[in-house]
Amino acid sequence: MSADLITAGGDGSMSAVSDTAFRLRDVRQEKSGRVLLRDIDLVLPRGRITVLLGSSGAGKTSLLRLLNRLDDPAAGVISYLGRSLDEYSVTELRRRVGFVFQTPVMFAGSVRDNLHEAAEIAGLEGEELPKRVREALKLAGLDPALEDRPSHELSVGEQQRATLARTLIGAPEVLLLDEPTSALDPESSEFLLDSIQRLRAERGITVILSTHRLHEALAVADEAVRLSGGAVEESGEASDVLA
Amino acid sequence: MSWPEVTGLIATKDPLLASLQQRLGQAAGGLEPEILQSPILGLSWLDLVAASGLVLLAVGIARWQRIGLAGSLIVGAVRSVVQLALVGYVLVYIFEIDQWWLVLGALAIMLAVAAREAVRRQEERSLRLYGMTGLALLVGSGFTLFYVSLVIVRIEPWYNPRYLIPLFGMIVGNAMNAAALAHERLAAELKSRRGEVEAYLALGATAARASRGPTRSALRAALIPTVNSLMVVGLVALPGMMTGQILAGVSPLLAIRYQIVVMFMLASAVAVSAVIVVLWNRRLFFTPDEQLRIGGGPA
């Protein structure tokens, strides 16, 4: 990203776009007349782990869904790398901004079929594919022995990692994770959070992760956003927000 | 009445049927000496009064077992008499006038009614859905009718209402059921498999790719009744048209040929209409930005 793409920050200051992944201005979201998000002004930095902290119903999922355009906001503007989201082709945006749902949804077939499906959508093919599959499984912390396993035979924890691998195979720049540990036991949770930190460190992936668990947020967050009733209560350095 | 008398009668009344008989007779290599085996027995209105005793029997059972349907049975019986009588007179009128524009008008009305009925069964209706369904039925049924009437049966004149109207009735009726079933199943599948569809979308898949599973299920649902009827035709019950022809005195050997054409034409009408409905109407469930509309946005 060129340095001349400069945009005003929420507080009026100037900051380089290259440090900012997403910027949300006056974002509002509604569903069936109910307000899900209101007055959202946020800067989500690039290459860092931002945790959205809040109880259920605080608007965490609604916010994540806006970032890869599974939904569009009722009002307000969201930009990614300095360009408004609707300036991207929606399929391209979604390939660059991966989303792992809270409840894992596996496609039919084996784990490998699932990853191949995602690879095909991402336009990957050829000899590199088996290697990419193994890499993605390793990154997501899923035992490569499970590659041939029918996806519906996996435990929920394994499915969660398989859907993470499925998202990672397309090498997204951003990873949106909606309560990724809610279905996992403490050991698996810790393992997954380690993987996420490794992804950020080794690949420079921007991670935006929602959780309602403070200790989890403390464990991984560089930045934190505290949401309540669809509004931002506090945001900034994790050490300040979570203190 | 002897066979030559009957064929003579038919030949003067319907040269097309006579030429058809001749063609079939030649094709069958003389296996089929007769197309019309016996003239049909007439039914007077008095006979129908006697037949109403059968409905009254059903009404009596409904009353006796208190299933709350006696009234509906009576209304249904009266409606069927009135509706069929009207259709009968309309058909007589159309056959007598024998004009292409009148026949096409009748077909258009049948098509519009079928489209309305197919859409009426859906939970969410719109003018656009009505238009798309109507167009799907027009293409699916129109193509099949064109092929059957001009290529297979080779009716003359091309608009002969005695052939076009009953054929189109069968075609559009089946296409209507298939279209309704296909759309209904598509909506239900997209709803119940929302997570899967959105998981595809979230990976950057197009709406077409994301809804491939639901699309296939919808098409299967629409085609299975046709596949089943192809499997069991003639084994469980004789089809209505074939029964009608046999009752009207046509040789079973000609009746089955017509029935075979009918079975095949219904398969085509059903498949073409269903695939168009599913592929076109699929777009109604997504925004232009590949977002699923069902469920009304964020969870």
A37 inside domain: no
Other CB atoms within 10 A of residue A13 CB: 7
d(CA B180, CA B120): 9
Q: Do the domain assignments include residue A19?
A: no
Cα B207 to Cα A166: distance, rounded to the nearest angstrom: 18
- B290/A29 touch (CB, cutoff 8 Å), yes or no: no
> In this complex, which of B201, B209, B298 lies closest to A36 when CB atoms are compared?
B298
The tens digit of pLDDT for each residue in A59-79 reads 999 999 999 999 999 999 999
Residues of B in contact with A35 (CB under 8 A): none
A24 inside domain: no
Across-strand partners of A232?
A227
Kindly state whether residue A56 falls inside one of the protein's structural domains: yes
> What string of DSSP letters covers chain B?
--HHHHHHHHHHH-HHHHHHHHHHHHHTTT----SB-SPPPP--HHHHHHHHHHHHHHHHHHHHTT-S-HHHHHHHHHHHHHHHHHHHHHHHHHHHH--HHHHHHHHHHHHHHHHHHHHHTSSS--HHHHHHHHHHHHHHHHHHHHIIIIIIS--SSTT-HHHHHHHHHHHHHHHHHHHHHHHHHHHHHHHHTHHHHHHHHHTT--HHHHTHHHHHHHHHHHHHHHHHHHHHTTTS---HHHHHHHHTTB-HHHHHHHHHHHHHHHHHHHHHHHHHHHHHHGGGGB-TTS-B-TT-S--
Question: Residue A186: which domain range?
Answer: 48-69+89-241
Residue B237's pLDDT is 78
pLDDT tens across A79-127, in order? 999 999 999 999 999 999 999 999 999 999 999 999 999 999 999 888 8
Could you tell me the pLDDT band of residue A41, with boundaries at 50, 70 and 90? Answer: very high
Query: How does pLDDT run across A197-230, given as a tens digit for each residue?
Result: 988 998 899 999 999 988 888 888 999 999 999 9
Q: Which residue of B has its CA nearest to A33?
A: B296
Does a structural domain hold residue A107? Answer: yes
Does B298 contact A98 at a Cβ distance shorter than 8 Å? no
Measured between beta carbons, which residues in chain B are less than 8 angstroms from residue A175?
A: none
Residue A140 has pLDDT above 70, yes or no: yes
For chain A, say whether B298 makes contact (Cβ under 8 Å). Answer: yes
Residue A119 lies in a domain: yes
Residue A154 pLDDT class (50, 70, 90 cuts):
very high
Contacts of B214 in chain A (CB under 8 A): none
Q: Smallest CA–CA separation between A239 and chain B, in Å?
A: 30
Sign of the CA dihedral with A138 first, then A141, A145, and A149 last:
negative
Residues of B in contact with A92 (CB under 8 A): 204
Using the predicted structure, report yes or no on whether residue B9 has a pLDDT greater than 70.
no
Q: Give the type of residue at A79.
A: S
A40, part of any domain: no
Tokens of A70: 């599974």
Six-digit token string for B25: 């007779």
Q: What is the dihedral of CA A173, A175, A176, A182, to 10 degrees?
A: 180
Q: What SS3 state is found at A55?
A: coil
* CB-facing half-sphere around the CA of A234: CA atoms within 13 A: 12
* Residues, chain A: 243
Tokens 């925004």, located at residue: B287
DSSP A110: B
Q: Examine the pLDDT at A179 and tell me if it is beyond 90.
A: yes
**Band of the pLDDT at B276, cuts 50, 70, 90?**
very high
| Rounded mean pLDDT, B166-186 | 94
Q: How far is A97 from chain B (nearest CA, A)?
A: 8
What pLDDT, on the 0 to 100 scale, is given for residue B296? 44
Domain ranges of chain B: 99-291
A180 secondary structure, DSSP code: T
Instruction: Work out how many domains chain A is built from and give that number.
Output: 1
Cross-chain residue pair A91–B291, CB shorter than 8 Å: no
- B chain contacts of residue A70, beta-carbon cutoff 8 Å: 198, 201-202, 291-292, 298
User: CB within 8 A of B77, min separation 6: which ones?
Assistant: B52, B55
Read off the pLDDT band of B10 (50, 70, 90): very low
pLDDT at B104 over 60: yes
* Listed range (A199-208, B38-47, B69-78, B223-232) with the worst mean pLDDT: B38-47
A50 contact B CB<8A: no
Q: Does B49 have pLDDT greater than 50?
A: yes
Q: How many helices (H) and strands (E) does chain A have?
A: 8, 12
| Inter-chain residue contact A32 with B201, CB threshold 8 Å | no
- What mean pLDDT do residues B13-36 have? 47
Per CB-CB distance under 8 Å, the chain B contacts of A99 are: 202
More confident site: B67 or A126: B67
| Residue at A193 is within a domain | yes
B58: pLDDT strictly greater than 90: yes
Tell me the average pLDDT across B143-171.
Answer: 93
* Edge-to-edge strand list for the sheet holding A34-45: A34-45, A20-31, A75-80, A83-84
Nearest to B138 by CA among B105, B115, B167: B115
pLDDT at B107 exceeding the cut of 90 = yes
| Angle in degrees, CA B184, B189, B192, rounded to 5 | 125
- Whether the CA torsion A220, A222, A226, A227 is positive or negative: it is negative
